Amino acid sequence: MSEATLATEVIDKRKGGLIGQLDEFWRYFRENRGAVGGLLFFLFICLVALLADLISPFGPYEQFRDALLVPPLWEDGGDSRFLLGTDAVGRDILSRLIHGSRYSLFVGCIVVSLSLIVGITVGLIAGVVGGTLDTIIMRLMDIILAFPSLLLALALVAVLGPSLTNAMIAIAIIQQPHYVRLTRAAVLGEKNKDYVMAARVAGVGRARLMFVTILPNCLAPLIVQAALSFSTAILDAAALGFLGMGAQPPTPEWGTMLADAREFIERAWWVVTLPGIAILLTVLAINLMGDGLRDALDPKLKRS
Amino acid sequence: MLAFLLKRIGLLIPTFIGVTIAAFSFIRLLPGDPVLLMAGERGLTPERHAQLLKQFGFDRPLYEQYFEYLWGAFNGDLGNSLVTKKPVLTEFFTLFPATIELSVCAIIFATALGIPAGIIAGIRRGTTFDHSVMGTALIGYSMPIFWWGLLLIMFFSGIMKWTPVAGRISLIYFFPPVTGFMLIDSLLSGQKGAFTSALSHLILPTIVLGTIPLAVIARQTRSAMLEVLSEDYVRTARAKGLPPIRVIAVHALRNALIPVITTIGLQVGVLLGGAILTETIFSWPGIGKWMVDSISRRDYPSVQGGLLMIAAIVMIVNLIVDLMYGLINPKIRHTG
């Protein structure tokens, strides 16, 4: 035993275990400059969301009756109090955008955790148990996939009632099939490999087999999917807010802020433009990160 | 091929039944009494309430109601809209051509730009062109399209005054719909300027709806191209001394486009989902806007009928794509 350990130490100088894996992952990830940029911007948004109360100049609901539709500072008529101007009822747009980051990140986190937990469990069950249960689960997922996702989310919110919580539930449901399918496909790929067979022969129970033996080897595609669906969740939640079926006014959610922006197209570009830029940059950063994750985790592309 | 066809259709039947159950459950899942929901704010006398319950069949067992609904659906009866009192299916087919026209234009826009951009980016991998195409595609892919629409309206309609803001054609033109497609109808009407007007109304919505498919198609074409270019038969063709243009156009492209065609086909769901936002922004009288309006007007039979019809259309188109893929690629046909 001690000899064997010694031998590996001599031959393999790479760090072992989780740290080694992370180290290897980071080496691939940092090669992708876009991904690192995305990660930095994402961390910046997280920081903004955490410190929203400290860094925002005003409260998100605070109204200044003397300053309606004030343009940003650098435009003619700008007010030094309001860097990015104010909206139609005199609220500071910068403060609302800063607080809005909380909602978007919150939506992303909740939706991704919900769909990861449920999707992985259901997918594992479908893959490991197989048979009729598998067929039923996959047909259910097909039914969800038959509807355009935003339409289904709209209909679900119509049933549940429009609110941010219900929008998150609806978005988690429409994202379910992707996780279930990915997990199931990965499980089917791993299921008949020798190490699973060995675990079976050793008498490992089904639950342990699913979560401890097989799952860790199926994680790579799921991590990538989680990153991509984080951004889809933010986009969908903003779209629902825009249609009046997500977060309700006066919540400073970015999509909701755009809901009545249309009437200001002709006279107040900043009311229309800024919340959209916030959505676009956040989603773009996450997608850049997701692409980097995919390249770093996809063994097909690794040239080691 | 026949076995493949039957198998695919066989797989579709349980899904379709599931979709009808989902659409059927929709009204019944709404919290509260369905009749009271339909009655809205006005309220009802108890007698009228009982009468309506009976009329809509809500007093009978669920499975009976479901089979009646299914029977009606197969006979083209999806109930009547609560707002206009017209049959839901008639409403749907009156508005559907507007959505098809917009979606077809969007997919043509996305394909015509996305495939060449993807091919060139793939051939010139690592160049500035490649980086800028992929960067733009990633931005397009991350775009909140409702905001993108507002921006385009603000710039092209508001500042430049180039394009109209909303609708399908200027109000000064009027002609009876023949095909329901404004571009064709305006040509048939023979009125001067009608076609130009219809076209100018179509441009911005087409760009907005086509943006995400464009990004997806460009990315997919590039990666398919890269994959094919590293294949042995491409190297062989090059080694034989074939002109590079021939290697790319004949050997590489034909194989690279197979997954791209599938991707284009699978954009149908994306288009119908995107139509909800695009049509709302541009007041485009199609089914997307109709669904949003129906939801906010609590016109539940319309929502229910629309859900069923849209899901059926998506499923049929996906089936066609699947079959076409099987036709092009024998590997899928025999193993799938």
Tens of pLDDT, residues A224-247: 889 989 999 999 999 999 999 999
CATH of residue A201: 1.10.3720.10
Assigned domain for A180 exists: yes
What is the structure's pLDDT at B58? Answer: 74
Assigned domain for A206 exists: yes
**B150 Cβ under 8 Å from any chain A Cβ:** yes
Q: What is the pLDDT of residues B164-219, one digit of tens each?
A: 878 888 877 877 777 888 888 888 887 888 888 888 899 999 999 999 999 999 99
* Amino acid occupying residue B270: V
User: How many Cβ atoms are within 10 Å of B270's Cβ, its own excluded?
Assistant: 21
The pTM of this model reads: 0.89
Assigned domain for A4 exists: no
For residue B146, which of A48, A94, A186, A260 has the smallest C-alpha distance?
Answer: A260
Distance from CA of A227 to the nearest CA of B (A): 13
ipTM, interface predicted TM-score of the complex: 0.88
Give the C-alpha distances (Å, rounded to integers) separating B175 from A100, B90, B105, B333.
47, 20, 22, 48
Tokens read off for B82: 């609560």
Q: Domains in chain A: how many in total?
A: 1
- Check CB contact under 8 Å for B26 and A273: no
Assigned domain for A207 exists: yes
A156 exposed, middle or buried (CB, 10 Å; 0-12, 13-18, 19+)?
buried
Q: pLDDT averaged over chain B? A: 86
A4 Cβ contact list (under 8 Å, min separation 6): none
Assigned domain for A15 exists: no
- Shortest CA distance from A232: residue in chain B: B142
Assigned domain for A217 exists: yes
What is the structure's pLDDT at A26? Answer: 86
Q: Which residues of A touch B (CB under 8 A)?
A: 34, 139-140, 142-143, 145-151, 154-155, 158-159, 161, 231, 235, 238-239, 242-245, 255, 258, 261-262, 265-266, 269, 272-273, 275-276, 279-280, 283-284, 287-288, 291
B168 Cβ contact list (under 8 Å, min separation 6): B98, B182, B198, B201, B202, B284, B285
What is the structure's pLDDT at B174? Answer: 77
pLDDT of B267 higher than 90: no
Q: Contact at 8 Å (CB) between A214 and A191?
A: yes
- Check CB contact under 8 Å for A151 and B291: yes
Q: What is the pLDDT of residues A54-107, one digit of tens each?
A: 999 999 998 888 888 888 988 888 888 888 988 888 899 999 999 999 999 999
Exposure string of A268-289, with b = 16+ CB inside 10 Å and e = fewer, is bbbbbbbbbebbbbbbbbbbbb
Q: What is the pLDDT of residues A242-283, one digit of tens each?
A: 999 999 989 999 999 998 787 888 888 999 999 999 999 999
Distance (Å, whole) CA B150 – CA A270:
12
For residue B134, which of A33, A275, A260, A163 has the smallest C-alpha distance?
Answer: A33
Q: Which domain holds residue A38?
A: 31-301
Assigned domain for A19 exists: no
Tokens read off for B212: 């995400």
pLDDT of A173 higher than 90: yes
Distance (Å, whole) CA B107 – CA B275:
12
Assigned domain for A22 exists: no
